[in-house]
Amino acid sequence: MPDARQQTHHSPGAGLCADCLHSRRLESARGSVFILCNLSLTDPRFPKYPRLPVLSCDGYKKKP
- Digit-by-digit pLDDT tens for the chain (64 residues) are 444 444 444 566 889 999 999 999 999 999 999 999 999 999 999 999 999 999 999 999 999 9
Tell me, what's the pLDDT at 13?
83
Tell me, what's the pLDDT at 5?
42
Please check whether residue 14 lies inside any domain of the structure: yes
**Number of domains the chain is built from:** 1
pTM value? Answer: 0.77
Tell me, what's the pLDDT at 3?
45
Please check whether residue 18 lies inside any domain of the structure: yes
Please check whether residue 43 lies inside any domain of the structure: yes
The boundaries of the domain holding residue 13 are 1-56
Please check whether residue 24 lies inside any domain of the structure: yes
Please check whether residue 63 lies inside any domain of the structure: no
What are the residues whose beta carbons fall under 8 Å from the beta carbon of 34, sequence distance 6 or more? 25, 26, 27, 28, 49
